[in-house]
Structure formats: structure tokens, C-alpha cells
């Protein structure tokens, strides 16, 4: 199947190319000026609309849509222990499946073609994503409570053997230092060192978390994971709001990237991560929404905006972080950060994952600077089309995800009522 998207304005490396994208099955066969004589099975006139690399949500908990607006205005510790963990304890796999499909709808509506989910139920997430044609990098949030005596090696082995396919990648995940015993961390370290696998983990999200780790081990979480050998094959840390001492230098040395989640960190009063400093040190940095329980929107437009203004406030510098840098973190950086070949910039032989934006709307006019317009003024309403793996999954308010959206809403409502009855 050859599809030609023409009359397009293509955003690439901060510049606009007027031309077309030719997609062969699921790959970009050509991008740039029109090619004379191209034979296409399907031709789409974009009528001057803008084409961008798609947003990649580099940290989320998709099934937590069922907790949206249910536990607000609380600090992280109380939020987790009194609201989130008790409600997740009664969640069933079939419900996790439907809540993930609801998240996928929100992702696509906002130009997101991939999420990276950490959760304790992964099969239903993988099923929902595969059926919808949506990408996900999955990791199990291992900790003492969810493992409940089970071997982490068996959980991880299952993930590597079963959670894979055209749309699914699997990684070793640890929920956090503070939910794991030292014994468990050492077991996981042995596993990842035997396999040479990177580790994905929540880390240094709050000041209290860092201080408690120092009280237990005399080290920051970053120093502890390094010393336990958990970062020997690199990895990704989520949040990293409160690095101390040489933490960022350690992450750089160990090839560990960072995913910042501005909305969640601000809403939970966790703080503002020093992203400007991370970039100056050469760290790989991506952007995530976190889950809908703490955000409460799965909206990368809002994350981009809050990342920008948050850095301005943190450094008392209106030019602390450029919009081109932010767009790169939201779109192309996932390729190196999450080790996803062919899923970064729009170029020949990359996967055909991209978004089409309608810039001729009141909230963006006049468009004086493309990156500024998207970061400061853009929103999901500007997304005209979302393409994943060469297939249109969203266009002008319609979803093409192999499921009736009304049924998804009905199943989520039914599931939410059942969860409340079980608590």
C-alpha cells in the first residue's frame, strides 16, 4: 500500500519543507519536495496543513484513567497510600484493558502515538494497544508488595517472552527504591546484569524520598542504584526532581536518561526538575504525562508548556529552555532515550508515525514561529490527524482503533462502578 500525503508543510529540524510524504506500508519512503510520476494507492491532500513528528509520551500509567479526578490536592505520600494503592488493589485485568483503551483515545486525540507504561498488569495493556494499533514500551513496576514473594526473574522472563510485537516493547521496571527491600533490589541487579538490560524506575521524585533513602543507606537513590549495579546497562529514571551532589554526573556516566513529568510534579507539589542543567550535562531527556490520577490530562501540549514555564521560574530566566529543544524532547528524543530505532525524526525509512496539525485556527494565529506556536499556544484541538505505523488512527474527531468509542466509554463506566462496589 502506497499513500501520498501532499500539499504539506513538513516540520523538520526547526524548518518547514513544503512538499509531501509518501508512505509505503508502514515506512516513510519519501519526504520532501514532490516526486514526479509517483503511483499511489491513496492520495491525501493536506491543503497546507503542517506535519510534525508525533508526540511520544515517555512515562505514563495508562490504566489509571479510572482514578482521574478521584484523588486530588494531596502530597505524593498520602496520595499513594490512602487513595491510589487501595483502589488499584481491587482493579481487575478486564477493567485495566478498557481503561487503557480510554487512554489511547486521549493520546491519539492529542497527537501521541506511543506511551511508555509502568504498571503491575501488563497483558491487558499490551492487548489494548495491539488491537488499537498503538505503540507502548511496557515495564512492570516491581516492588515487594506487588510481587508478594514471587520471583522478579520469572515476571521479567514472562515479559520478555510474551510482551512483544509490532507495537509492544518490554523493559525491566522497578517501581521505586522506597517500595523495594534491599534484598529485592539485589535480586533485580543480578538479573539485569546477567542479561545486560537497562532499568526503568521512579527516582528522586520528592525531597522526602531522597532524605529517607539517605537515612536508610547513607546514599541518594541514584548513588544506591549505581552501587548496587542496577545501572550497569543504563536505563531511564522518571521525574528526577531532586538530584543531589553528583547524581546527574552519575546518570550521564552510566548512560541513564531522564523523563520529566511537569504537570504531575507541580500538581503533587513535588517540585520542578532541573531540566536545563540535565541538558547542559548532555543527559538524554524525554517528557511524560505520568498517569491521569496525578495529572489529570494525558496531554503533551500541556506538558510542553509547563516544562517551558517551569524552567523559567526555576532558573529565573525567561530564556531558560528553547521551544525547539522542548519539541525535540517531546517527539524525537524517545528514539535514543527509550532505544526505539526508526521512531524519532521524520525521515526516509523511518516508521510512518506522524501528526498533522491545523495551524489555521484562532488559538495559533498568527503563526510567527512554529515551535513557539505549538509549545505556547497549541492544544489537542489543533490535531487534525494522527498516523501510527502508516495507518490513520484519528482524523477530525473520528477514531479508527477497531473499537466503537461509545462502547469504550460504556465499559469504563461499568468497570468504575464495579470497582467502587468492591472497595
- CATH number for 118: 3.20.20.140
Does 286 lie in the same domain as 142?
Answer: yes
Rounded Cα distance, 61 and 359, in Å: 30
pLDDT grade, residue 84 (50/70/90)?
A: confident
Residue with cell string 522542548: 326
Higher pLDDT, 35 or 271: 271
- CATH number for 381: 2.30.40.10
Residue 332's Cβ-side half-sphere holds a number of Cα atoms within 13 Å equal to 15
Does 147 lie in the same domain as 183?
Answer: yes
Residue 297 included in any domain: yes
Mean pLDDT of 229-253: 98
Q: Encode 124-142: b = buried (16+ Cβ within 10 Å), e = exposed.
A: bbbbbbbebbbbbbbbbbb
Does 158 lie in the same domain as 95?
Answer: yes
Does 162 lie in the same domain as 85?
Answer: yes
Does 130 lie in the same domain as 11?
Answer: no
Q: Are 81 and 270 in contact (CB under 8 A)?
A: no
Q: Which of 84-93, 194-203, 224-233, 349-358 has the lowest mean pLDDT?
A: 84-93
Does 354 lie in the same domain as 324?
Answer: no
Does 103 lie in the same domain as 82?
Answer: yes
- The count of structural domains within the chain is 2
- Residue 423: predicted pLDDT: 80
Residue 406 included in any domain: no
Q: Which domain holds residue 219?
A: 55-337
- Residue 118: predicted pLDDT: 98
Does 38 lie in the same domain as 180?
Answer: no
The pTM score is 0.96
Does 203 lie in the same domain as 291?
Answer: yes
Residue 418 included in any domain: no
Give the pLDDT confidence of 97-132 residue by residue, as tens digits.
999 999 999 999 999 999 999 999 999 999 999 999
Residue 413 included in any domain: no
**Final residue belonging to a domain, choices 292, 307, 337:** 337
- Residue 39: predicted pLDDT: 83
Residue 404 included in any domain: no
Residue 103 included in any domain: yes
Q: List Cα–Cα distances, 62 to 242, 286, 294, 369, in angstroms.
A: 25, 17, 12, 33
Rounded Cα distance, 245 and 233, in Å: 22
Give the pLDDT confidence of 393-414 residue by residue, as tens digits.
999 999 999 999 999 999 999 9
- Residue 70: predicted pLDDT: 86
Does 382 lie in the same domain as 259?
Answer: no
Give the pLDDT confidence of 287-307 residue by residue, as tens digits.
999 999 999 999 999 999 999
Amino acid at each position: 500500500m502506497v499513500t501520498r500525503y501532499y500539499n504539506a508543510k513538513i516540520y523538520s529540524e526547526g524548518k518547514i519543507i513544503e512538499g509531501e510524504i509518501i508512505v509505503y506500508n508502514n515506512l516513510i519512503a519519501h519526504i520532501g519536495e514532490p516526486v514526479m510520476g509517483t503511483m499511489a494507492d491513496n492520495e491525501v491532500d493536506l491543503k497546507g496543513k503542517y506535519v510534525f513528528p508525533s508526540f511520544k509520551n515517555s512515562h505514563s500509567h495508562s490504566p489509571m484513567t479510572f482514578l482521574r479526578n478521584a484523588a486530588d490536592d494531596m502530597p505524593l505520600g498520602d496520595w499513594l497510600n490512602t487513595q491510589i494503592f487501595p483502589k488499584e488493589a481491587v482493579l481487575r485485568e478486564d477493567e485495566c484493558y478498557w481503561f487503557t483503551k480510554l487512554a489511547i483515545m486521549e493520546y491519539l486525540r492529542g497527537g501521541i502515538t506511543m506511551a511508555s507504561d509502568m504498571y503491575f498488569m501488563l497483558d491487558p495493556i499490551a492487548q489494548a494497544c495491539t488491537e488499537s494499533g498503538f505503540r507502548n514500551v511496557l515495564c512492570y513496576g516491581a516492588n515487594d508488595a506487588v510481587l508478594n514473594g514471587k520471583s522478579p526473574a520469572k515476571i521479567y522472563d514472562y515479559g520478555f517472552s510474551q510482551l512483544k510485537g509490532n507495537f509492544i516493547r518490554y523493559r525491566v521496571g522497578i517501581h521505586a527504591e522506597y517500595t523495594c527491600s534491599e534484598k529485592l533490589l539485589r535480586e533485580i541487579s543480578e538479573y539485569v546484569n546477567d542479561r545486560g538490560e537497562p532499568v526503568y524506575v521512579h527516582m528522586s521524585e520528592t525531597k522526602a524520598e531522597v532524605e529517607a533513602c539517605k537515612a536508610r543507606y547513607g546514599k541518594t537513590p541514584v548513588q544506591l542504584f549505581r552501587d548496587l549495579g542496577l545501572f550497569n546497562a543504563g536505563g531511564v529514571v522518571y521525574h528526577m526532581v531532586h538530584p543531589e551532589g553528583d547524581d546527574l554526573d552519575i546518570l550521564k556516566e552510566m548512560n541513564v536518561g531522564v523523563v520529566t513529568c511537569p504537570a504531575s510534579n507541580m500538581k503533587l507539589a513535588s517540585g520542578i526538575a532541573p531540566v536545563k542543567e540535565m541538558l547542559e550535562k548532555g543527559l538524554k531527556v524525554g517528557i511524560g504525562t505520568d498517569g491521569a490520577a496525578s495529572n489529570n490530562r494525558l496531554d503533551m501540549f500541556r506538558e510542553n508548556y509547563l516544562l517551558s514555564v517551569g524552567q523559567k521560574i526555576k532558573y529565573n530566566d525567561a530564556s531558560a529552555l528553547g521551544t525547539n529543544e522542548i519539541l525535540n524532547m517531546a517527539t524525537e528524543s524517545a528514539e535514543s532515550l527509550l532505544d526505539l530505532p526508526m521512531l524519532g525524526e521524520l525521515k526516509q525509512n523511518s516508521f510512518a508515525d506522524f501528526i498533522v496539525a491545523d495551524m489555521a485556527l484562532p488559538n495559533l494565529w498568527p503563526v510567527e514561529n512554529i515551535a513557539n506556536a505549538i509549545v505556547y499556544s497549541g492544544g489537542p484541538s489543533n490535531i487534525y490527524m494522527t498516523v501510527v505505523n502508516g495507518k490513520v488512527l484519528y482524523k477530525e474527531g473520528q477514531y479508527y482503533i477497531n473499537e466503537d468509542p461509545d462502547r469504550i466509554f460504556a465499559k469504563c463506566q461499568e468497570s468504575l462502578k464495579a470497582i467502587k462496589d468492591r472497595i
